[in-house]
Amino acid sequence: MSARVLIIEDNQVNMDLMTYLLQAFGHQPLCATDGEMGVAMAASEQPDLILCDLHLPKLDGLGVVAALRAAPATRHIPVLAASALPVTDGCAALRRAGFSGCLPKSLEPEVLIPALETFLPP
């Protein structure tokens, strides 16, 4: 199934790689380069899934997920935290903050695509 996936990422290399991988597996990437743009795009585009960096300009990842969860139009969209920082608690703190889960920024196709697909509708 083809899904629309919003990527909120300020690092162009990471954005290009995620975009490439999503397209290669038949998904449609949407791209935002800062937190405020990501929140606005989520509301207007209603993606199936959002991948969100934690360290973003204008509004960080925690601010993004708080804004998305506060708005009726976007609170239902799964949001995955994508971070290069090690996660030692199994994403528990990020889930408490409102994220649906987290992904390491290894961006290996055999890790990224199956992880994403678990959050997409069947």
Exposure string for 49-73, b = 16+ CB within 10 A, e = fewer: bbbbbbebeebbbbebbebbeeeee
Q: Could you read off the pLDDT of 74-101 as tens digits, one per residue?
A: 999 999 998 766 666 767 888 899 999 8
58/75 Cα distance (integer angstroms): 21
3-state secondary structure at position 82: strand
Q: Could you read off the pLDDT of 29-44 as tens digits, one per residue?
A: 999 999 999 999 999 9
Q: Which top CATH class is 4-117? A: alpha beta
- The full set of domain ranges for the chain reads 4-117
pTM: 0.91
Question: If pLDDT is split at 50, 70 and 90, which confidence band does 103 have?
Answer: confident
